[in-house]
Amino acid sequence: MDFVPLLYGDAVLDLDLGFTILSGDQLVASIAIQLNAERMVIGIDEDGLFTADPKGTRPTNFIEDCTLDELRELQKQLQTSTAHDVTGGIHGKIIELMPAIEKGIAALIVNASKPHLVYKALRGERVIGTHIQKE
C-alpha cells in the first residue's frame, strides 16, 4: 500500500498488572512482519549501534553495517550493559528486532535527535546509522 506507519511505545492496560509498558520496538517488529515490510527505521539517541555503551567508560566502536549473525554476537556483548530503560535499552531493542530481521526485513538504526535524519532515512537516502541485513 506504500505507506509508512510511525510507531512509539506507551503505557497500556494489562489484565494482570493493571498497566505495563508496550515497547515501540515490539510494535515495529510485529507490524513489519505482518505487513511484509522491506525495512524498519528505528530512531534512538545515538548514531546507531556501538560495540559497547558509547556513554560509558569502556572504549567503543561504531557499527555501520551488521548481519544478523553479527547482531546476535553484539547482543550477547551488550547483555551486561548498565544503560537501559524500562524496555531493556539497546539490548532489549536488538532482541525485539531480531524476528523481523530473521524474516529478511532490513533495519536501520539512526539518531532521531539529529534534524531531518529520520526523514532522510525514510526516503531511502543513505544516512549515518547502523544498517542491519539478514546476511
Residue 64 pLDDT level (bands cut at 50, 70, 90): very high
Mean pLDDT over residues 90-119, rounded? 93
Residue with cell 535499552: 89
Mean pLDDT over residues 18-30, rounded? 88
Determine, yes or no, domain membership for 109. Answer: yes
- Specify the pTM: 0.85
Determine, yes or no, domain membership for 33. Answer: yes
CATH code of residue 94: 3.40.1160.10
Determine, yes or no, domain membership for 118. Answer: yes
The pLDDT of residue 134: 95
The total of structural domains in the chain comes to 1
Determine, yes or no, domain membership for 2. Answer: no
Determine, yes or no, domain membership for 4. Answer: no
CA angle 75, 40, 29 (to 5 degrees): 65
Determine, yes or no, domain membership for 49. Answer: yes
Determine, yes or no, domain membership for 116. Answer: yes
Residue 88 pLDDT level (bands cut at 50, 70, 90): low
Bridge partners of 63, per DSSP, are 49
43 is in which domain, residue-wise?
10-133
